[in-house]
Structure 1
């Protein structure tokens, strides 16, 4: 027997979190189930597992009868998402779970909970990081992750942990997105380098709530499992092969051209010019002393041209990029001014954010004259121009 009452909104958030791991084509029928456990101390735990990734959420509930039950996960998720904003009552009755909310009532067939695999226990706590910082870093780097499953290393996020510094990086061979931030390791001198599936980490980061702290669970570099916990929610996932390129060495260079542009107007101009591009058609950026000409064309059918003011030092340059790849990098820059550095039209270019000035600075509105960045770096291969 299982019986409890719970707030609908809390339940919807917990079910949504646990449902993210439910496989669309489960290897075993029970893996399509969501495990629900009501505890004597008034806790309600909901979990999903597919042998690679587990997700678990704990919320408070009024528990009348503690116990465990397994129900069809995706169906439960659809039901809870559409319930009215009233308390939800769960109770097992014979071979089904009865879900009542207001005048709505559903009966879900109980699945064999005894056949459900044991959920993996997270490794030891490695350290903590502010949730908003971690979520932002994951969102900045994951667009650069590869999509080719035949190269699994490239479909992951590389996490390098060195004392109080955390690096996150992704690459698909055409670009590298990396973010450096500060975290709090549980033990001084902690070091590890792991590769986490990018999609899993991105989905986890999107669900981190403002103000929550993130706990990273990792026993060390030799571990095969990583855990992330935040605000009563947790996930574990198996790690990918930890072989990875030396991305940090590639983010340094002797740049011969540096252009500083206002991020938001530059993004809007790129989007407009990119309207005429087709698949594999680049946008062309011609940087001169005070402006950049942004151009694109689709054969003889359409063309676009727009200029933006820039602050440039070094050599003038004419360089071309995939518009979407360039926009992905600019999306990771949250400052007023962005910096593009390059050494030639066929060499990788580095995109970074310039730290904003203080609001009371007499030069507010102008870019700082500094080599510092915001910790986010985006290295992008240009497209060779034919003329």
Structure 2
């Protein structure tokens, strides 16, 4: 059978996900065999598959009918799906053409026949180093992914560090030198990982976001430290690890018994307000006995006491030593670390240098560090005055 019924919205979302995970590009100069996807349907399950030299992905969804594996140009297929509409779609193979028909029209795309040129990612069949409920896994990745960098000249900062031990604890961490986000996750399949791996943050974040609201388990497999497979409900991703040394992040975290000045703030409210500020702004945080005042503007205006925007958020359990602390931060960086928190977070500062050393943001198993923006005159003796 060569005709299958797909949901248009689902197929469009699957194609967008494939593009996001693999970095598939339609730019000129990209070889045709690096822009193709293979669609197929059998037994009530439809699949979309793409593989290149760095990553491979297959996504599955329920469909009606059947379709023999058909390889086509992914940008052309995405355009055909968009043109045919977001309702029910019929995909039909007719010789060297694939026809996509829907409520808004019918479009056919050429079948790619040079299949021997299409890369094939190796299989990753090793034991799982992490098995967790999909929403739990997604929340852990969402907490650390914002701290990863995007500078490809510093590849060690573009990944998420993943380590596992035989006790069933998996550590995740990411940093771009200004932010550090870490968390620990209990796995249902305790397996000691021979060496930590560095997984591309964009790939892991996309895979996690897809399963965030799905029921089922996510498993992560590592093959000789070169490939990682992320298998979750409706999708399977294989990606090459980043061959670079991740910073020694654990030594940057304050010791559990370290003396810190503490306060609690409502993260969602503060993150929402910070996201409205442009990245060219700096924010100055002024800690009070029961609130935190945020002043935002360009650095010179903030330091001069002429901020463009001010607002106050409630604070609780404020250490009396923290009252009067003044410290500056990049609003985008601060918002990115707060946005994943479900409620209140505990914020701590060094009791001796709160304005020039990293602030910590903690909730649950998540621990974050954020480097401050240097504000003249914001050292403790000035802040307390």
TM range (shorter): 0.7 to 0.9
CA offset at residue 243 of structure 1? 1.5
1:274-332 Cα shifts (integer Å, max 9, x gaps): 47xx72x4211222433433223444675344444433115232211111111111112
C-alpha change, 1:97 and 1:269, in structure 2 (3 Å) is closer
Residue from 336, 348, 355 that aligns with 1:341: 348
Aligned partner of 2:235 among 229, 233, 236: 233
The yes-or-no answer on 1:262 pairing with 2:266 is yes
Change (3 A) 1:352 1:210: same
Q: Identify the range of structure 1 (85-94 vs 337-346) with the bigger mean alpha-carbon deviation.
A: 85-94
Contact in 2 for aligned 1:157/1:196 (Cα 8 Å): yes
Match of 1:322 in 2: 330
> In angstroms, what is the RMSD of aligned CA positions?
2.7
Structure 1: which 5+ residue stretches go unaligned?
354-373
Tell me, yes or no, if the aligned pair for 1:4 and 1:61 is still in contact at 8 Å. Answer: no
Question: Per the alignment, in what secondary structure is the counterpart of residue 206 of structure 1?
Answer: helix
Q: Give the TM-score taking structure 2 as reference length.
A: 0.83
Give the aligned partner of residue 4 of structure 2: 5
Report the CA distance between 1:154 and its aligned residue: 0.2
Q: Displacement, 1:269?
A: 5.6
Task: Tell me how far 1:86 sits from its aligned partner.
Answer: 5.3
Q: How many corresponding residue pairs?
A: 356
CA distance in 1, matches of 2:111, 2:127: 35
The match for 1:282 is 282
Name the structure 2 match of 1:247: 249
**Superposed CA offset, 1:193-229 (max 9, x none):** 110111111122221142232121213xx32110111
For residues 302 and 47 of structure 1, do their structure 2 counterparts lie closer, same or farther at Cα, with a shift above 3 Å needed? same
From the superposition, tell whether residues 261 and 60 of structure 1 become closer, same or farther in structure 2 (CA, over 3 Å).
closer
When the two structures are superposed, what TM-score results if normalisation uses the length of structure 1? 0.82
Q: Provide the secondary structure at the position in 2 that maps to 1:313.
A: coil
- Indicate the residue corresponding to 2:205 in structure 1: 202
The answer to whether the Cα contact below 8 Å between 2:172 and 2:184 also exists between their aligned partners in 1 is: yes
Tell me how far apart the structure 2 counterparts of residues 213 and 147 of structure 1 sit (CA, whole Å). 29
Which of 358, 361, 376 is the equivalent residue of 1:351?
Answer: 361
Aligned-partner Cα distance in 1 for 2:114–2:61: 21
- Tell me how far 1:42 sits from its aligned partner: 5.1
Q: Residue 318 of structure 2 is aligned with which of 312, 315, 326?
A: 312
Q: Is the 8 A contact 2:81 2:100 kept in 1?
A: no
